[in-house]
Amino acid sequence: MLGRLGRLVPAAVRSVQESFHTLQARTSVMGKPNVIFVLGGPGAGKGTQCARIVESFGYVHLSAGDLLRAERIAPGSEFGELIEHHITNGTIVPVEITCSLLERAMTKSEKNDFLIDGFPRNEDNLTGWNKQMGEKVNVRRVLFFHCSQDICTARCLARGAAGSGRTDDNEESLRKRFVTYETATMPIIRHYEAMNLVSQIDASRSPDECYAEVEEILNKL
Ligand code: C5P
Ligand code: MG
């Protein structure tokens, strides 16, 4: 009997999920989503570590940069040029666009644990997120991958040379991305540090070494 119920319930939940149009509607069935922010300089290894976390912990990985790159080329998007301009210059897209892409992806998801990578990146991102999402989710932790500019730059240039296809994996864009990181993103990390939410990871090490520490942090949550 229980076995039969076990098979029936997920199907019922799924059919409700398919009709979700807002994050609140989804939350009323599934509870508030849990969010872990993943921050660090360009090339610190955020994406690599997130992919591993997804495999072992079942989080949904939402990269703000990936969502913006997809929106940039989405047919009919009115934001393509604006996004391209910001990406090439290493500056930050207005939060209304990025936060809506994140909320839409969360609403569509059938899971409740999210890794949000590369966000919030500046004061505008933080304020906009708090206004639009503050009451709707639980921010559980901020993983901060810390790495020197030299190592990060070398990694991004290698990624570009290996054919990442990214318009910003070149020396000029990288210099600008680092200025944004130091001046706009570091204050956001400090803000979360003051709230005791940050776990700092030395990201100059190998992916395996970093991940061993990430696992320890996540197992304690
Ligand atoms: O995180 P990633 O390196 O993929 O981001 C690439 C670019 O996307 C950033 O340099 C920035 O121009 C844009 N971006 C943004 N706002 C975010 C995340 C990324 O404008 N929150
Ligand atoms: Mg990335």
Cα 217 to ligand 1 centre (Å): 25
- φ/ψ of 175, rounded to 5, equals -60, -45
73: amino acid identity, one letter: I
CA-based nearest residue to 29, from 130, 132, 111, 89? 111
Cα 11 from chain centroid (whole Å): 29
Residue 5's pLDDT band, with cuts at 50, 70 and 90, is very low
Helix (H, G, I), strand (E, B) or coil at 125: helix
pTM for this predicted structure: 0.91
Can you give the residue range of the structural domain that contains 97? 2-219
Residue nearest to atom 10 of ligand 1 (CA): 90
What is the pLDDT, as a whole number, of residue 11? 53
Q: Over 60: is that where the pLDDT of 133 sits?
A: yes
What is the pLDDT, as a whole number, of residue 3? 42
CATH number for position 120: 3.40.50.300
46-70 pLDDT tens trace: 999 999 999 999 999 999 999 999 9
The sign of the dihedral angle between the CA atoms of 82, 83, 88, 93 is: positive
Residue 29's pLDDT band, with cuts at 50, 70 and 90, is confident
10: amino acid identity, one letter: P
88-118 pLDDT tens trace: 999 999 999 999 999 999 999 989 999 999 9
Cα 42 to ligand 1 centre (Å): 9
| Position in ligand 1 atom list of the atom nearest CA 121 | 21
- φ/ψ of 94, rounded to 5, equals -55, 140
Nearest bound ligand to CA 125? 1
Cα 67 to ligand 1 centre (Å): 9
> Edge-to-edge strands of the sheet including 60-63?
60-63, 113-117, 34-40, 138-146, 198-202
| Cα gap 175→181, rounded to integer Å | 10
69-81 pLDDT tens trace: 999 999 999 999 9
Q: Is 139 in the pocket of ligand 1 (CB under 6 A)?
A: no
Q: Is 65 in the pocket of ligand 1 (CB under 6 A)?
A: yes
Cα 54 to ligand 2 centre (Å): 14
- Number of separate domains in the chain: 1
CA-based nearest residue to 78, from 65, 102, 62, 94? 94
| Cα gap 59→53, rounded to integer Å | 7
| Position in ligand 1 atom list of the atom nearest CA 119 | 21
Residue 181's pLDDT band, with cuts at 50, 70 and 90, is very high
Token pair for 141 = 């932790």
